[in-house]
Structure 1
Amino acid sequence: MYLKNTTTFSINTMSGLILSDRQNPVSKKILSFHQFDCFPSLGFNFLDQFSFTVTIDSMAVEPREGTEFESEEAAKMFYDDYSRSLGFVMRVMSCRRSERDGRILARRFGCNKEGRCVSVRGKSGSVRKPRQSTREGCKAMVHVKYDRSGKWVVTKFVKEHNHPLVVEPRQARQSLDEKDKRIQELTIELRNKKRLCAAYKEQLDAFAKIVEEYSNRMSKRVESVVENLKEFEEIEFELLRSKQDAIYKPALNV
């Protein structure tokens, strides 16, 4: 990769240099200085917590075994920038997941010309005329693995490509930028849909609450009506009984 942007170096010790760049999150193992003899007469650590800005131009930075990254995404961004500088398109390839919780433990990034195109047979059994394939069986790749320290470490790097690097960096960058833009648009659309669904759910919950309250009130009214009917039946029975007693008692006295 060729770093042409201004890059900030943060020095925390007399023998450590960490490359910190927004677009190129490179590990401290890639670039490091082990001696600082600029201030031999100073009796204190003048460089502690000191930061300065330099510009690096025309310096290719390649992945190396043992290189560390803060995350899988940081490793992906690094190899993506590396592929752009060399003139090929990066491809996200296979990964290995944890059998316990499904977390990604290792990831492989490679060239978009990796693999071969497989012939497809039609329903009649004849081989269909294959479309022009961009696959050439390229082996170029980088393999990163999650380490116990919490870092992602490069465990294997294959530099050589078996095809000319004819893709212009600008074209590759434009293609990837268009994909990133489309992903961003879809992400915004998905976020808006989620908000709309949340609003619908809130309205539905409010309506369900109203229906539940109305149902409870109706249930209480029905219970009240049933109780009133029972009381009315008891009163009616008592009146009928009193009426019968009033009729039959004089007859018995005679």
Structure 2
Amino acid sequence: MSGTIQNREAFLNKIASRLGRDKFQTSVEEPNWSYHPQDAVLKHADSDELLEALKTQCTKIHTDLIETNKTELIDTLRTIVAQYGGGPIVTWKDARFEEYGLSSLFNHIWPSENIQVHQWNPELGEENITLAEKANIGITISDITLAESGTAVLFSNKDKGRTVSFLPLKSIIIMPKSSIVPRMTQAARIIREKVKHGEHLASCINFITGPSNSADIEMNLVVGVHGPVKAAYIIIEDL
């Protein structure tokens, strides 16, 4: 059942009058600020300096950071997965994995070593979530990486379930070096530009900063209360 709004304009204009305004404003003009402090952080940093800032932050958020390249990525990933206790593993169904040469690892090498790998399949529905809950490791790829806070920005979609990043016991996030920007300011602009150009964005955008960290009123830190207990960022040299 739908209702009808009556005397809306008169009501809003009366409120505007009480606030000392001529009439109710139907649009808001974006202010032109003379100073933009949000742009000052790491303003002139190049890609190597952004990476160094990210490394420093990772020591503060209890996150392992490993540098590699496309040639050595398989060996690097196998090493960190072994250190994190092996499978079961859950990953996105992401074309970038194939671009990085990981298809053989997911589909052949690990299965031959009795390491179970599940790639997100939208046709399976909630079964994906169940498998993510049982997984030891979730593997994803960062779409935007924030150097200042050590944050991975993940765009989810039907092939990239958001639970892959927070239901498994540990998280491994692959980060192209080219994805590193100074801070949230640049990430927001990138997302806004995508919207302006009509790009279909994820229904959920996750900002993930290392493993789950919680502290009580006495500031006693507890890791893993509402997410992975361990996290690793693998930086790929792709510039």
User: What TM-score, normalized by structure 1, do the two folds share?
Assistant: 0.22
Larger radius of gyration between Structure 1 and Structure 2 = 1
Q: Which has the higher contact order (CA 8 A, sep 6+)?
A: 2
